[in-house]
Amino acid sequence: MNYFTISANAKASFIEKRSEFIGYIAPVKTNDEAVTFINAIKAEHRKAKHNVYAYILRDDNISRYSDDGEPQGTAGVPVLDVLQKRGLTDVCVVVTRYFGGILLGGGGLVRAYSHAASLACDAAHIMNMCLCQRLKIKADYGMYGKISYLLPNFDTITVSSDFGSDVTLEILVLTEKMQALKNELIEATNGSVDITDCGELYEDFSSIKKIPE
């Protein structure tokens, strides 16, 4: 149910036999967003010999790539392969190459473009987007200790807390763990807790140590 993507743009570069390879990665959700990002990098590097790209979108399971003038199969496919092997989606990578005058050969190009894409991925913050439920939990202060003790056992994320006349917490819990958490809360508070479902969404659970397989 979960998927992996990135939180923000990132880039990294290296030089191989005087050719500079600059890897850019960006989060994108649509084909138009991917094309806009690719065109922006191309505009920034008009003098570059090549601007190779690959992207993968969750919607309709779209994946596209371009060798941008490099020999077929030596550039776009290796970049796409890096994204696929890392399980990333809703991302676009562009690798800009400034040719240094020394030919790398087919194998050299594959390694160079793969490395640039990998460096860009390494530079980005990877998010583990999990299907979860937003819950509003309301209880009196006497039950707050029991509730706060239980929540970490279910890998929850606290969105907000309000300590007014009662304690009100808004949390995110993995959908698969929601019912078990509700049952535990009801039992621990002898049914005095008020739990409201506020909708299902995908959220980043990469900061949680116990991520489901």
What is 3-124's CATH topology? Answer: Ribosomal Protein S5; domain 2 (3.30.230)
Give residue 212's Cα distance to chain centre. 16
The predicted pLDDT at position 167 comes to 94
The predicted pLDDT at position 86 comes to 95
Six-digit token string for 190? 């002898």
Architecture per CATH, 128-204: 2-Layer Sandwich (3.30)
Q: Quick one: average pLDDT of 16-43? A: 96
Secondary structure of residue 113 in the 3-state scheme:
helix
**Does 72 score more than 50 pLDDT?**
yes
> Is 166:196 a contact under the CB 8 Å cutoff?
no
Q: Quick one: average pLDDT of 25-40? A: 96
Q: What percent of the chain has pLDDT over 90?
A: 88
**Does 3 score more than 70 pLDDT?**
yes
- Tell me the domain boundaries of the chain: 3-124, 128-204
Query: Is residue 103 classed exposed, middle or buried when 0-12, 13-18 and 19+ CB atoms within 10 A define those classes?
Result: exposed
> Is 136:170 a contact under the CB 8 Å cutoff?
yes
> Is 133:177 a contact under the CB 8 Å cutoff?
no
Model pTM score: 0.83
Q: Quick one: average pLDDT of 176-189? A: 95
